[in-house]
Amino acid sequence: GGAVPVEQRAGWGAFLKSLAHMTGDLSSMTAPPFILSPTSLTEFPAYWCEHPLVFAAIADGLTPHDRMERVLRWFICTLKGQYTTRNEKMGSEKKPLNPVLGEEFFGVWPDVAGRGETKLIVEQVSHHPPIVSRFYNEKAGVKLQGHSGQKTNFSGTAIHVKQSGHAILTVKPKSGEPAEKYLITLPKLRIEGIVWGSPYIELTDTNAIQSNTGFTAVIDYKGKGYFTGKAHTFKATINRGNRTIQSYEGQWTGISYVGGSKGPVFLDTSAPKEEVVVRPIEEQGEWESRKLWEKVAKGIRTGSYDEAGKEKSRIENDQRQRRKDEAAKGESWKPNHFIHLDEDPEYQQLAAMLDDKLTPAHEDGYVYKG
């Protein structure tokens, strides 16, 4: 545990032992203070839009093939933010705050240079995952809605994370062609570096993007020493039926190329990203993430862990009481912004076009109420 503060080494050792007995849900486990993040998981969906211009430009594509390539470029350019931001900002991956039922996160990326405003709505819709999120840029003709949850297990050296859920992107082409749908499945990840107390994420296996236009993108991830000597590498192909139309490769944290590594640049992820704009805490409602966790986050940031712990217990006890009160009245909590579907026809239609090996077995759906 070289990266663990001396006074927390015993606690880290105990945490590693408890990982061995974990059954699927890491989020509720107690971890030593140095590894805690002041940010709740409800903020994470914002990573999907930190390159708002790339997102808005999807509908400018002139053909279904061109638009699939833009979707792939946009998807790959979100990965660096999703999976390395905590390392960049806080020195290592950290344990996010575990959202409460009904926790909300709202944000916008303003209209700059005519790209249109993108609005984000996030809600924790059940006690365990998932979190549901919706992004909408009406002017640019792009809408993204998805839900995500995780199952975790520990192998002795790494935490293996299987993401459940998916996203569906709706595109209204500027060319006037009919609206298109893209089903996006989520990659698996491995959290490495745990024994040293400096966790980081490596993506593994494969995810896919399936469009109703018949185009499919398949993305394969590898860590150090597979495709190249480099970490965070991927290879992707765009296919139509069983014909490969174009391939791409490179680093999802760096540069990638069309064709092989000598081809033209497909994407350079060093372009600056734009963080979501959020209303000041004083103006937020009681269930909005930064308001709800304000005191806990402050405690974590300033090293006042007793204060953070007390406030976290207060929130958790309040949650337990609310659930008891509902049960006593024979009621059950309902999401505020989304309606749950056991079966989502839109998902099923797109999933049926995708190879079984790349499709999650069963997926719920959510419909936006607004």
Cβ-proximal residue to ligand 0T9, closest one? 95
Contact string (CB under 6 A) for ligand 0T9, positions 253-292, x = contact: ----------------------------------------
Site for ligand 0T9 in 141-170 (CB under 6 A): 148, 150, 152, 159, 161, 163
Q: Which of 44, 109, 293, 366 binds ligand 0T9 (CB under 6 A)?
A: 44
Q: Which stretch binds ligand 0T9 (CB under 6 A): 23-31, 60-68, 227-235, 247-255?
A: 23-31
Q: Which of 4, 11, 26, 234 binds ligand 0T9 (CB under 6 A)?
A: 26
| Residue 285: closest CA among 336, 321, 338 | 336
Contact string (CB under 6 A) for ligand 0T9, positions 165-204, x = contact: --------------------------x--x----x-----
Distances (CA, A) of 12 to 7, 31, 36, 120, 275: 10, 7, 12, 36, 32
The least CB distance from residue 214 to ligand 0T9, in Å, is 27
| Residue 259: closest CA among 250, 273, 246 | 246
User: Should residue 132 be labelled a site residue for ligand 0T9 when binding is judged by CB under 6 A?
Assistant: no
Q: Which stretch binds ligand 0T9 (CB under 6 A): 25-33, 227-235, 265-273, 352-360?
A: 25-33
Q: Return the percent helix, strand and coil in the chain, to nearest 5.
A: 30, 35, 35
Q: Which of 31, 101, 195, 258 binds ligand 0T9 (CB under 6 A)?
A: 31
Q: Closest CB to ligand 0T9 among 193 and 263?
A: 193
User: Should residue 39 be labelled a site residue for ligand 0T9 when binding is judged by CB under 6 A?
Assistant: no
Two structure tokens written together for 134:
């919706």
Residue 318 to residue 364: CA distance in whole angstroms? 28
Q: Which residues contact 211 (CB under 8 A, 6 or more apart)?
A: 64, 67, 68, 71, 180, 181, 182, 183, 350
Residue 44 to residue 248: CA distance in whole angstroms? 27
The least CB distance from residue 26 to ligand 0T9, in Å, is 4
Q: Which stretch binds ligand 0T9 (CB under 6 A): 88-96, 220-228, 236-244, 328-336?
A: 88-96
User: Should residue 27 be labelled a site residue for ligand 0T9 when binding is judged by CB under 6 A?
Assistant: yes
Q: Closest CB to ligand 0T9 among 163 and 206?
A: 163
The DSSP output letter for 189 is E
User: Should residue 79 be labelled a site residue for ligand 0T9 when binding is judged by CB under 6 A?
Assistant: no
User: Should residue 351 be labelled a site residue for ligand 0T9 when binding is judged by CB under 6 A?
Assistant: no
Residue 37 to residue 98: CA distance in whole angstroms? 10
Q: Which of 43, 93, 104, 364 binds ligand 0T9 (CB under 6 A)?
A: 93
| Residue 152: closest CA among 141, 140, 163 | 163
Q: Which residues contact 356 (CB under 8 A, 6 or more apart)?
A: none
The DSSP output letter for 99 is P
Distance of CA 352 to the CA centre of its chain: 24
Two structure tokens written together for 19:
């990982």
Question: Where does this chain bind ligand 0T9 (CB under 6 A)?
Answer: 26-27, 31, 35, 44, 47, 82-83, 93, 95-96, 148, 150, 152, 159, 161, 163, 191, 194, 199
